[in-house]
Amino acid sequence: MKARTASTKTVKLRPFSVGGSPRVQLEVWIERQGDRLWLRYLAEGEVDRVDWPAPAGNQRADELWRHTCFEAFVRTPDGYREFNLSPSGHWASYRFDGYRSGMALADEIVDILGLNGAGDMVALEAAIDLPSGADRLGLSAVIEDVDGGISYWALAHPSDKPDFHHPDSFILELP
């Protein structure tokens, strides 16, 4: 796992609603590396109550958001990209022309660099290709507990329901 450097930015995700299970805290480390973005999602707390997907290999797959999954949304001049990063090793990248419209597979690639844990923490590292003109970032997570409950986490929750695609969710300037 990569160590935090002076150029690493750290942010915290917050749940859409307070309470529920498992009781975790989510932090994301972000670092720009040329035309790639390195991300480290760190879950701390009751991580043994999270339903972590089984290892399945580093390959593209759909509907990862239905289970525990970390996500990054990147605004571009022509819309935005959605990146799904599963602890299983599976990943996805989609292109959108506008708010939830014009969805297609994106050319950008994701490398899941590793998943590790110890005691009350689990961390997933990944690197994503940044599309040309990318300027803003939204980060989020879907956490499924061992009892099947789902919680939604993001930097911002600008609407009355969890909506990671909402334009006001893209609150970070890309480093």
Q: Considering its fold, how many domains does the chain have in total?
A: 1
Question: Which CA distances in Å does 175 have to 64, 69, 87, 137, 165?
Answer: 26, 23, 25, 9, 20
In a domain, 1, yes or no: no
Beta bridge mates, 28: 11, 41
In a domain, 168, yes or no: yes
In a domain, 45, yes or no: yes
**Ordered per-residue pLDDT tens for the chain, 175 residues:** 777 777 899 999 999 987 667 899 999 999 999 999 999 999 999 999 999 999 999 999 999 999 999 999 999 999 999 999 999 999 999 999 999 999 999 999 999 999 999 989 999 999 999 999 999 999 999 999 999 999 999 999 999 999 999 999 999 999 8
Q: b/e per residue, 108-127, with b = 16+ CB within 10 A?
A: bebebbebeeeeeebbbbbb
Domain of residue 140 covers 10-173
pLDDT value at position 75? 98
In a domain, 4, yes or no: no
pLDDT value at position 2? 74
Question: Which CA distances in Å does 18 have to 13, 14, 53, 64, 93?
Answer: 12, 9, 24, 24, 29
Non-local (6+) Cβ contacts of 55 within 8 A are: 88, 89, 115
In a domain, 2, yes or no: no
In a domain, 92, yes or no: yes
pLDDT value at position 15? 95
pLDDT value at position 22? 80
Rounded-to-integer distance, Cα 150 and Cα 171, Å:
24
Non-local (6+) Cβ contacts of 101 within 8 A are: none
CATH of the domain at 95: 2.60.40
In a domain, 3, yes or no: no
In a domain, 119, yes or no: yes
